[in-house]
Amino acid sequence: MKILIVDDEPKILDVVEAYLVAKDYLVFRANSGEAALRKFALSQPDLLILDLMLPDKSGLDICKEIRGSGNETPIIMLTAKSKEQDIIIHGLQLGADDYIVKPFSPKELVMRVETVLRRSGNIRNKDVYKLSFAEGSLIIYPNSRQVFLHDKEVCLTKKEFDLLYTLAESPTQFFPRETLIESLYGYDSFNSDRAIDSHIKNLRQKIEKDSKNLNLF
């Protein structure tokens, strides 16, 4: 599995690469925005680790360009600006999957990588795996990120699928709103309760006969 790391600090590139290689990932590196876009196109990575502050082009611009092309490769942003909430929120709105604030623990970054890859379906176990509910009426295929209701595929947004999969993995568990926010947006997220409420409402309308029914399954 291929990961592209983009940062203009050689020490960060060295450390992150060492930890990822130890986990058997194939790592590519870039230290500028232009180099990042070239290597992204050439290597077609399964995940992009992207620094927000680069010498020639911002990480936000790179994220916007990648998402604007229709590419859904998972992106984890690195930022030293822990107090600039607007920048982080803007990155998430542009399509970043997670972020981590510098200085960070390499072990935590590897954990985030594994989590984001698992959520995106780019997991190493390619065996067919599904979750089935209501006697097969609702079937979820995590690897391909497909959902079928009464044998018809349901079109879900990325966040709607992530939410459904989180709930489906533990259907009898109670999830506080804060836990769902963390699951969808990562740690220390600034996303509001209303965003989660909106995702839940839209998801219920797509998979339930009675969208007011609190039991998804």
3-17, 48-62, 183-197: least confident range = 183-197
State which of 43-57, 123-137, 161-175 shows the largest mean pLDDT: 43-57
Q: Who's near 143: CB < 8 A, 6+ residues apart?
A: 121, 123, 125, 126, 127, 128, 129
Q: What mean pLDDT is predicted for residues 111-116?
A: 88
Distances (CA, A) of 29 to 16, 32, 46, 187: 10, 10, 14, 25
Question: How many Cβ atoms sit within 10 Å of the Cβ of residue 23?
Answer: 12
DSSP structure class, residue 95: T
Rounded mean pLDDT, 149-166: 87
Give the model's pLDDT for residue 193: 63
Identify the pLDDT of residue 192.
61
pLDDT of residue 126: 41
Task: Give yes or no for a contact between 164 and 178, defined as CB atoms under 8 angstroms apart.
Answer: no
What element of type H or E holds 70? none
Q: What pairs with residue 30 in β-bridges?
A: 6
DSSP-assigned beta bridge partners for residue 24: none
* CATH 3.40.50.2300 domain extents, the chain: 2-120
Check: CB of residue 98 under 8 Å from CB of residue 112: yes
What integer pLDDT is reported at residue 124 of this predicted model?
44
**Answer CATH for 2-120 from 3.40.50.2300, 1.10.1060.10, 1.20.210.10, 2.60.15.10:** 3.40.50.2300
Structure tokens at 56: 């020639």
Check: CATH 3.30.1450.10 for 131-207? no
3-state secondary structure of 158: helix
Q: What is the mean pLDDT of residues 147-159?
A: 86
**In whole numbers, what is the pLDDT of the chain averaged over residues?**
82
Q: Where in the chain is the domain with CATH 1.10.10.10?
A: 131-207
pTM of the model: 0.56
Say whether 174 sits in a helix, a strand or coil.
Answer: coil
